[in-house]
Structure formats: C-alpha cells, structure tokens
Structure 1
Amino acid sequence: MLIDEVKSYCEELLSSQSCKEMSFHNLEHTHDVVANIKTIGESMGLSATFLEPIIIAGWFHDTGFLQSYKEHEKYSALFAYQFLSARDWPLEKIKIVTTCIQSTHMPQAPCSLEAEILCDADIFHLGTSKFIGRNQLLRKEWEEKLQEQYCEESWLRLNIQFLSQQHFFTHYGKTILAQGKCKNINFLKSKLVQITKSASLKINANFA
C-alpha cells in the first residue's frame, strides 16, 4: 500500500540525526499527528479513501525540517510532491497533500476540509493533557534551534495569548479539543498569577 511506503520513507527521514535533535517536531510528534487525523476522521465518519491523502500529508508535514526550520512547510510539500509524483499518483490527490501541508504554516489558513483536519491534528495537543509536557519541549526546541529564550512569566504570557487567539476548524476540534484547551488556558493563567504574586512579595520584602 502507498501509505505503508510513505510511512517507511518519512520515518527514515525523521530518524536522521538532525530530526532526532528536535525536541518537539520529531518522529513522535508525527506519529501523534497521524493518529490524530484518524481520530478526527473517525469522529466524522469519513472513509479511508477520503482520509488517505490527509494521512500522507500528516506523515510528510514536518520532513521539511531537514532543510529549513522557519520554512519547513514548503520543503515538506516538495518532498511529498517528489515522492508521490515518482509513483505516478494522480496529480489532483498530490495537490490535496501539498495544500494540506502548506496550510499548517502558522497562522493556519486551511481552505478545505482535508486541510482543516490536518491543521487540527497538528495542534491537537493544545486541547489535551499532553499540552504542558509538549509545550516545554517546544520551549526547549526554540532555545536550541532559534536561540529564543523566555523567562517563565514571558513564556506563560506568550502561550496564554497564543491559545486564546488560536481556534480549531473541525467539529471535533471546536467541541472536544476546545474544552481541553480552555482547561489548559486556565492552568497557565493560574501559574502566571502564582508567579506574579511571588514576584510582588519579593519586591515588597526588599522595601520592608
């Protein structure tokens, strides 16, 4: 099956040393995204035929990190196009795959149901209990790959703003994941309150 070939090829790419060094955008994340696509698809009663190009896009969507961090979607789509066209896959299906991949660029802008499913699958963790752990991995990755460092308060404010502005596109995302995301926002806000109170107490103590 084509999906099996895609899976093997992308797992090989994502097992390269440069991708192994990624704290967040690694093979584990890609496995999660593919599983998330299936979860969302099953909740909508979509057929395996409909989901096939989305799952393929899910396997390829982060392979472009091999070439570029900030423009990885462009290269991921290119890798997918080269692989699929070499196997004479229909161009209209290849277009679905590449469009889905490019739609995951932040801020997400999906223009089809297929792209909406991949976009929600890619940020699925925002609405689950995995968010806190995955968020710390992303912070570490930004420090290592982008040399962007944040104090705890700045990091919390950045993520509260991002989660508050971000929205899901599928029904599953707007219901199930949105509820989980609200819980995560509240958790971040409570941590921020604790930090700001602690900082205020220290300042007052210095002037006492």
Structure 2
Amino acid sequence: MNVVQKAESYVFNLFKDKLSPDYIYHNFIHTLRVVNNTEVIAGNENVTVEEEELLLLAAWLHDTGYIVSDLGHEEESAKIAEAFLKENGYDETKIAKIQSLIKVTKLGVEPQNHLEKIIKDADCSHFADKDYCRLSELLRAEWKLTHNKSFTDLEWATINRGVLLNKHRFFTAYAQRELQPLKEANITELQNVINKLEKGNKKSAKEKINQKKLEKLDRPERGIDTMFRVTLNNHTRLSDIADSKANILLSVNAIIISISLSTLIPKLDSPNNAHLIIPTLVMMLFAVVSIVFAILSTRPKVTSGTFTRKDIEDKKVNLLFFGNFYKMPLDEYEWAVNELMKDRDYLYNSMIKDLYFLGKVLHRKYKLLRITYTIFMIGIIVSVGLFIYAFKMM
C-alpha cells in the first residue's frame, strides 16, 4: 500500500471516529470530491508523478483539522498531515510543500505557484458543479448545526452569488477553460433564484404568512430534504467503492488460482519440484480465503419481504427498503405508502432508519474488506518468502 492509499484509509477512519456528525458538508465525501477533482486538474496541467503525489496527499489531508475546529482548520490540518507523513517516513522537504498546499486552501489566500493553483482550484471546483445549489444547502444546514447561523432563502442565495462573483476566481488554464463557464451558469441560476425571491417578497404580509404555513404543512424544510438526499447518495457511492474493491480482490485471486492450477500444480508430480508443493499450497490457501472474505463483503442479506397492516399502524416497518415489501401485493403496498406519506414523523423516522441501516451495512463491508486486504497482503508476503526459501534449500 503506497502513501496515498494509506492517507485515504487514515482520513476515512479519522473522520469516522473523530469528526462531529454536525459536519454534514465538510466530511469524507467532500474530501473525496476534492481528491477526484485534483486528479482531473493535475492530469490536464502536465505535472510530474512526484508532484501529483504531493497534490493528492494534500487533497486527502486538507480538511482533517475539522476534527479539532472549523476555525483555522487549515493550520490544524497541516499539523495532522505533518504527524501522519512523518510516521510513514515521508521526506521532510516534501512534507513542508504539502503543508503549504493545505494552507493555501484557506478562502482569500492567493496561490503562489503552479501546484498551489491546482489544489486551490480543486478545493473550489464545487462552484462549477451542476449540483452547486444543492451542495450549498448542505453547507447552510452545517452552519446552522455548528454555529447556530440561520439564513433566509434570499440571504443565502445573495451570499453565494457574492462569493462566486467577488471572492473567487480560477487560476489554472484547465479550470479557466472548463470550469469557469459552469461557474457562470451557477451564478445565473443564483440570480434567477434571487429575482424570484425578491418578487415573492412583494406579496402582502398575510399572503406570505399563509404561504409559509402551507409550505410547512406540505413539505419538509429544504435543508432537511437536501441532507437526506445527499447523505443517501453518499452512502450509495461508498457502497459502490466497497464493491469495486471487493471485485478487484476477487479478480486478482481468481487469476492467481487459475495460473497455479494450469502451470504450477501439474508440475508438482515431478520429484524435482517437490520443494514447490508447500509454497504453492500456501499461496492458493491465502487466495481462497481472500476470495471467501471478498464474497462475504458483497453477499446480500435476504429479508422476509412482507408486512402486515398492524405493522404499518404501529409504525414498525420501513417501507423505503425493498427487502420489507418485495413479496407484498401492489394494492397493499400502495395503501401502506399512502399511510406513510400522511404521517410526517413516520416518514422522517423511516428515512432515518434507512440511513442508519445503510451505515451498518457499510461498516460490515469495510470491516470485511479490511480483513480481506490484510489476508491478501500477508498471503503474498508469506508465499514469496516460502518460494525463496524453497529455492535456496534446493
């Protein structure tokens, strides 16, 4: 495992164990988005392999300071990065460069070199995201939770337009060419929202009061709605990542077993190759165990798929999970969902349960994947060692 992969695992576990759940925007998913954008921009800016490694390490570690505080988190992130990289024997000169890259992500700080421009653009690339308005709603909800700051829709749209227009610009040629037009489209969308809200503010006081009452009755608040939608999407993406990692291990170990069966094992009948029997069997054993654990991490859990009307009346079943209803008749399911939509608390509790149990599934997947990678790593080391020993003894 190289240092970038170690950084990914380190940040994932650090946020899982120490980051406050109030940070619903500045979390692992935000960091992953910055890392992905760093790869894209670096790939289009002709950096060296060594420079790309510095950028990716800075991207993974740039928000770790949030486990301490969001105020001055760049400085805290730089300290955490230094400790992690020193622990992994990283060169001190490179560590200093990574710390500079982390510190330049602070809003209002001007980048001084090419690498700083790349990390700065990657950190702000969400300004050009097609879902920018929804992402900003997540940040709005985070500020409400962490600083008790509340904004009206008009205030929030105006603040965002001001940031995009006056407090930010892209620095790299790639970002100016590819991301700037998308950012300008978001500015236009924000302006349209502002115009609509300003027009709506001209309604009479009575109309506005009635409208707010209707909105409160008919739909959940926008920030809560966005939080559920984005969090569910984040859970799904993490599940896809876990499945991809499991598929990689399945493929690699299947290849190892296939090669062993076709080339090594047929030759073990010869007395001249007797010294290869134990290393080959050990290698295949570890490969088989790795495959078993990889399969366990992706194996679905089957549920009954049924419920009763009493379960719905007692609010005991989560209708948002297919495993609870896939055997039910359509008319029963339609009735149950209609009952769910009538009860706001039941609806929210079902969504919360859905997220909770998805999280439990993710924990199981990543725990088994960690065991699988450990077994695979130990198996490779032990097998290679045994082959070397066998040849020396021969």
Using the TM superposition, give the Cα deviation of residue 50 of structure 1 relative to its aligned residue in structure 2, in angstroms.
1.5
Q: How far apart in 2 are the matches of 1:117 and 1:172? A: 9
Q: How far apart in 1 are the matches of 2:17 and 2:188? A: 37
Q: How far apart in 1 are the matches of 2:156 and 2:115? A: 32
Counterpart amino acid of 1:178? Q
Establish whether residue 179 from structure 1 lines up as the match of residue 202 from structure 2: no
What does 1:80-119 align with in structure 2 at a 5 Å threshold? 80-119=81-120
Equivalent residue, structure 2, for 1:127: 128
What does 1:1-208 align with in structure 2 at a 5 Å threshold? 1-16=2-17, 18-165=19-166, 166-202=168-204
Residues 54-86 of structure 1: per-residue CA shift (max 9 Å, x gap): 100111001100011111111100001111122
Using the TM superposition, give the Cα deviation of residue 90 of structure 1 relative to its aligned residue in structure 2, in angstroms.
1.5
Cα pair 1:14 1:20 within 8 Å, conserved: no
Q: How far apart in 2 are the matches of 1:113 and 1:19? A: 34
Q: Secondary structure at the match of 2:111?
A: coil
Q: How far apart in 2 are the matches of 1:108 and 1:159? A: 18
Residues 153-196 of structure 1: per-residue CA shift (max 9 Å, x gap): 11111111110011011112212111111000000000110111
Q: Secondary structure at the match of 1:12?
A: helix
Residues 4-33 of structure 1: per-residue CA shift (max 9 Å, x gap): 111111111122253443111010011111
Cα separation, partners in 2 of 1:19 and 1:123, compared to 1, 3 Å? farther
Unaligned stretches of 5+ in structure 2? 209-394
Q: How far apart in 2 are the matches of 1:150 and 1:48? A: 44
Using the TM superposition, give the Cα deviation of residue 130 of structure 1 relative to its aligned residue in structure 2, in angstroms.
2.4
Using the TM superposition, give the Cα deviation of residue 87 of structure 1 relative to its aligned residue in structure 2, in angstroms.
2.7
Q: Secondary structure at the match of 2:26?
A: coil
Cα separation, partners in 2 of 1:137 and 1:190, compared to 1, 3 Å? same
Q: How many residues align?
A: 206
Using the TM superposition, give the Cα deviation of residue 134 of structure 1 relative to its aligned residue in structure 2, in angstroms.
0.9
Unaligned stretches of 5+ in structure 1? none
Segment drifting more, 103-112 vs 68-77: 103-112
Using the TM superposition, give the Cα deviation of residue 116 of structure 1 relative to its aligned residue in structure 2, in angstroms.
1.2
Q: How far apart in 1 are the matches of 2:63 and 2:20? A: 9
Counterpart amino acid of 1:98? Q
Cα pair 2:11 2:61 within 8 Å, conserved: yes
CA RMSD across the alignment: 1.7
Q: Secondary structure at the match of 1:16?
A: helix
State which structure, 1 or 2, has the greater radius of gyration over its C-alpha atoms: 2
